[in-house]
Structure 1
């Protein structure tokens, strides 16, 4: 058992899981607001005061209390804790296998980030579907296990993998672009900053920049993914057509602000915590 726990990939999994726990708990309200914005009824006019980020947030607090902002946090934990662990352990294993201790170049960083996200995304997709349904407020699930059972019984197991293509089209480019920008920005830092006590803050700042760029580029795929998972009868192409007909091009960027805030802060925090923990246990991230 001790030998297993000493394996670098297991250590990376544990570090990643802890970083995912911290970031999920802090930023779940932003994910809920993003999901609510993306699944508003089509009768609500884009640009009206009723569909802004703050109005949705206040509406949730008013109707579901402050705790309502953390609705779906348990399925988020169920997804994120192992999911981020799988992501970082896969990333670490791929990096060690192909690059050993060398710093990845831009293309290599894209491949490492995209490969790790593909593995984690496919494995955790059923929980992602349940999390999205919890957050949208249209389903009355009581627990994650009950939701999984209900979906399998009423819609079939295939529904748990609805939005797979849209999810991969969102997450794989996001992770690849994020790791590329993050690694290249971090590499450009002066050595005196990288080795100083302020290195975690500098790394976090690099993560913020990388997260904003990656979030904006992949936002349309996130909107499509949300629609397919809330309405699994829709195909990806049908969801794209529906969003465009109902809301135009701007519909593909609905919820961009809360998602960008959440994804950027979560990714920056997760990578900062992960790298600090890996350094503490004597491993290169």
Structure 2
């Protein structure tokens, strides 16, 4: 009997090792793991900027998303919810970004490998980045809605499960997918433009700098430059997305939300929360790509 137990344990161990070997040999799995790890690091670090951005876009008392508005929101959150209130919405952010970033990088790796042999040109980079982000955006839209409502302070949910259940019971499936169009109009162009700016900037860096200890600094710098450009272009869609996800009963269509923002705030209303979003998206994307590049290098995955 003891020998049977030992044999069974050896078989299970052998099966587990075989599974691990299969996973470790899969480029898509490696991309997913590297992306998920990079997403975790950047999400935790930059969550306060995302919260400030959402609060700026949801309030009607702050006319702009500049430094003054940011400081007002930060001081208000710290005063009413203490310092850790700046990390409100961390749980849904982790639920969204960890698998979401992993899915984005693994989708992007597959697309680059099969459509352009791993070396996309400028227009190809825009198309591939947009396609990979569209897959991720559609898949993760329910948790994106929950995350937005958590951060806004408008809703008081005790947990992600409670939020999902409450939204579904009151609003049905539509409530968990509201704001999908502006989300895709924001994220797909951002990712496409980001990938184009990032790859083209990196191509202009001497190869020897990308192969020594300066590589992480170079990757991060390229990421920052790409993020600033892509964030500014896609900011209006982020404002409209926030309005639709926070007030789905009021904004039942994308044109209606666009019209409201213009009527209420004027053209500058489309850029509320621009500063914290540019900081967060730029630094988060730059860090995610830097970590991803380093991990894929250790995985020997290119």
Could you state the TM-score of these two structures normalised by the residue count of structure 1?
0.96
Q: Aligned residue for 1:254?
A: 272
Residues 78-89 of structure 1 aligned to structure 2 (within 5 Å):
78-89=95-106
1:52 to 32, 54, 69: 69
Q: Aligned residue for 2:134?
A: 118
Whole-Å Cα distance in 2 between the matches of residues 91 and 24 of structure 1? 20
Q: 1:228 to 1:49 in 2, by over 3 A?
A: closer
Whole-Å Cα distance in 2 between the matches of residues 28 and 10 of structure 1? 26
- State which drifts further: 172-181 or 156-165: 156-165
Alignment check: 8 A CA contact 2:183 2:241 kept = yes
Residue 6 of structure 1, CA deviation: 2.5
The count of aligned residue pairs is 281
Whole-Å Cα distance in 2 between the matches of residues 220 and 91 of structure 1? 25
Whole-Å Cα distance in 1 between the matches of residues 26 and 175 of structure 2? 36
SS of structure 2 residue aligned to 1:155: helix
Question: 1:91 and 2:140 equivalent?
Answer: no
Q: 1:205 to 1:156 in 2, by over 3 A?
A: same
**Structure 1, gaps ≥5 residues long:** none
2:261 to 243, 264, 273: 243
Alignment check: 8 A CA contact 1:35 1:255 kept = yes
SS of structure 2 residue aligned to 1:272: helix
Question: 1:209 and 2:228 equivalent?
Answer: no
Alignment check: 8 A CA contact 2:145 2:245 kept = yes
Could you state the TM-score of these two structures normalised by the residue count of structure 2?
0.91
Q: 1:172 to 1:50 in 2, by over 3 A?
A: closer
Deviations 1:112-170 (A, max 9, x none): 11111000000000000000000000111111111101111111111110001000000
Alignment check: 8 A CA contact 1:49 1:55 kept = no
Deviations 1:201-221 (A, max 9, x none): 011100000000000000000
Whole-Å Cα distance in 1 between the matches of residues 67 and 285 of structure 2? 29
Residue 19 of structure 1, CA deviation: 0.2
Residue 185 of structure 1, CA deviation: 0.2
Question: 1:143 and 2:136 equivalent?
Answer: no
Larger Rg: 2
Q: Aligned residue for 2:237?
A: 221
Alignment check: 8 A CA contact 2:67 2:275 kept = no
Residues 157-236 of structure 1 aligned to structure 2 (within 5 Å):
157-233=173-249, 234=251, 235-236=253-254
Whole-Å Cα distance in 2 between the matches of residues 207 and 96 of structure 1? 22
Whole-Å Cα distance in 1 between the matches of residues 62 and 122 of structure 2? 41
Q: Aligned residue for 2:291?
A: 273
Residue 197 of structure 1, CA deviation: 1.1
Deviations 1:221-246 (A, max 9, x none): 00000000001121211111111111
Q: Aligned residue for 1:132?
A: 148
Alignment check: 8 A CA contact 2:66 2:275 kept = no
**Structure 2, gaps ≥5 residues long:** 1-18
Q: Aligned residue for 1:4?
A: 23
Alignment check: 8 A CA contact 2:148 2:246 kept = yes
Residue 46 of structure 1, CA deviation: 1.8
Alignment check: 8 A CA contact 2:58 2:152 kept = yes
Q: 1:191 to 1:4 in 2, by over 3 A?
A: closer
